[in-house]
Structure 1
Amino acid sequence: MGRPSKALLDRERIGATALALVDAQGDFSVPQIAQRLGVQTASVYHHVQGRAGIIELLRVRIAEAVDASTLDLRPWDRAVEAFARSYRAAFAAHPRAIPLLTMSQVAAPEALAVYERAVGLLIEAGVPEETVMPVITALDNLVLGSALDLAAPEAMWQPASDGSTPLLARALAAVSSGRRTDVAFELALTALLTHVRELAAAEPEGPGTTGG
C-alpha cells in the first residue's frame, strides 16, 4: 500500500478532537482522543506532552478565533475594548473548556505572544509596570467569567414563592431591557477601563514628593 497523502495524526487533529470531546462532555482523556482518531494511545503521546500539552492545544485552537489585530488599534483603550469583545466571543463558543484552561499554566507560544502584545500596549499607555499583570488578570477574569455566564440560564435567580425575598424580586423586575449577561459585561468592562485610564493618567511620585 502506498503512504497516505495526509498524515493520519497531527497536533491539529488532536486539538480538534479534544475540543469536540470537551464541548460534548466537559473533559477529555487521551484514550478517548486516540479512539476517535483510530490510533493507539501511545501514538498521541508522540505528538503532545501528555494532558497538559493537549490543554495547550485547546487554548490555541480557541484563541485562533480571537482577533489579536485589535491590539493594534489606537487609542489604547479602544484596543482593549475591541480585544475584550473578540476574546469573549471566542471563548463563549466553548464554555466547557474554560475551567480546564484556567487551571493550567499558559505555555503555548501563540498565546504568550498575544499576552506580550497586551503588556506592551498597557506599558505604552502609561500603566505602571507593577500594575500591568493585575490589569491583564482582571481582564481575563472579566472575559472568561462573562463567557461562562453566557452559557448560564438567562433567569439565574428565582425569588422565593413565599414572598420572603421582596428586594430581590424588585431588583429583578427593575432590570432594563437587554440580555442580562451582556448588560453585566458592559458594566464590568466600562468600570475596568475607567480604572485603567486613571492608572495610566496618574503622575508617578518623584523622590521628593510626600503625601498629604
Structure 2
Amino acid sequence: MARPRTPLLDRERIATTALRLVAEQGEFSVPQIARALGVQTASVYHHVDGRAGVVELIRERVCAGIADETLELEPWDRAMEAWARSYRASFAAYPRVIPLLMTTPVRAPRVLAQYERAVGMLLAAGFTRDRVMPLLTALENLVLGSALDLAAPEAMWEPSADTPLLADALAAVGPGRADAAFDQGLAAFLTYARSLLGEAG
C-alpha cells in the first residue's frame, strides 16, 4: 500500500486537536486526541512527551499570537503596555486554555525566550532583580483575568429592585465594561511600576 502523501500525524495536528478539545470541554486527554485523529495512543507519544508535551504545544500555539516585537519598543512602559494588550488578545481567543496553562510550569522554549526578553527589558529599565518576577506575575494576573472577562457575558450581574445602586452603575458603564476595566487596571499597574523606579532612584 502506498504511503499517504500527507502524514496522518504531526505536532501541528496534535496541537490543533488538543486546542479544539479544550475549547469544547475545558480539558483533553492523550487517548482523546488519538481517537479524534484516528490513530493509536502510542502514535501520539512518538511526537510529544506525554500530556505535558501536549500542554506545551498548546502554550506555543496560543503564545504565538503575542507580538513579542512589542518588547523592543521604548520606553519600557510603552513596551509593557503594548505587550500586555497583545498578550490579552491572544489568550482571549482561547479562554478555556487559561486554567490549563496557568497551572502547569512553562517549558516551551519559544515562550521562555519571550519571558527572557521581558526580564531583560525590565532590568535594563532599572528594576531590581527582586522586583522583576512579581511585576511580571502581577501583569499576567491582570491580563489573564481580563481575557477570561472578555469571554464572559456582557451582563455578569442581574440587579434587582433591592440593588438600585448596582443597576445605575451598570447602566452608566454601558457596553465595553471588560475593556474599560482592563484599561483602568493596566494604567494602575504601570503607575505602580513607575513608582518603583522612583523609589530606586
State the partner residue of 2:169. 171
Q: Give the conservation status (yes or no) of the 8 Å contact 1:146–1:185.
A: yes
Offset of residue 6 of structure 1:
3.6
Among candidates 181, 184, 193, match of residue 190 of structure 2: 193
Counterpart amino acid of residue 172 in structure 2 = A
Q: Deviation string for 1:114-158 (max 9, x for gaps)?
A: 100000011111112101000000111111110111110101111
Q: Give the conservation status (yes or no) of the 8 Å contact 2:88–2:146.
A: yes
Offset of residue 30 of structure 1:
1.1
Q: Give the conservation status (yes or no) of the 8 Å contact 1:71–1:83.
A: yes
Offset of residue 3 of structure 1:
3.1
- Identical-pair percentage: 63
Check if 1:119 corresponds to 2:123.
no
Check if 1:32 corresponds to 2:32.
yes
Q: Give the conservation status (yes or no) of the 8 Å contact 2:154–2:175.
A: no
State the partner residue of 2:41. 41
Query: 1:101-180 to 2 correspondence within 5 Å?
Result: 101-160=101-160, 163-175=161-173, 177-180=174-177
Quick one: distance in 2 between partners of 1:178 and 1:190? Answer: 20
Q: Give the conservation status (yes or no) of the 8 Å contact 1:88–1:147.
A: yes
Unpaired runs of 5+ in structure 2? none
Offset of residue 35 of structure 1:
1.3
Counterpart secondary structure, 1:150: helix
Unpaired runs of 5+ in structure 1? 205-212
Quick one: distance in 2 between partners of 1:186 and 1:97? Answer: 23
State the partner residue of 1:182. 179
Quick one: distance in 2 between partners of 1:17 and 1:97? Answer: 13
Aligned residues: 201
More helix by share: 2
Q: CA RMSD in A?
A: 1.4
Name the larger-Rg structure. Answer: 1
Quick one: distance in 1 between partners of 2:83 and 2:175? Answer: 22
Counterpart secondary structure, 1:156: coil
Offset of residue 190 of structure 1:
0.4
Offset of residue 20 of structure 1:
1.2
Counterpart amino acid of residue 114 in structure 2 = V
Counterpart amino acid of residue 169 in structure 1 = A
Q: Deviation string for 1:147-189 (max 9, x for gaps)?
A: 11111010111112xx3223222322332x5500000000000
Q: Give the conservation status (yes or no) of the 8 Å contact 1:56–1:108.
A: yes
Q: Give the conservation status (yes or no) of the 8 Å contact 1:128–1:199.
A: no
Query: 1:3-82 to 2 correspondence within 5 Å?
Result: 3-82=3-82
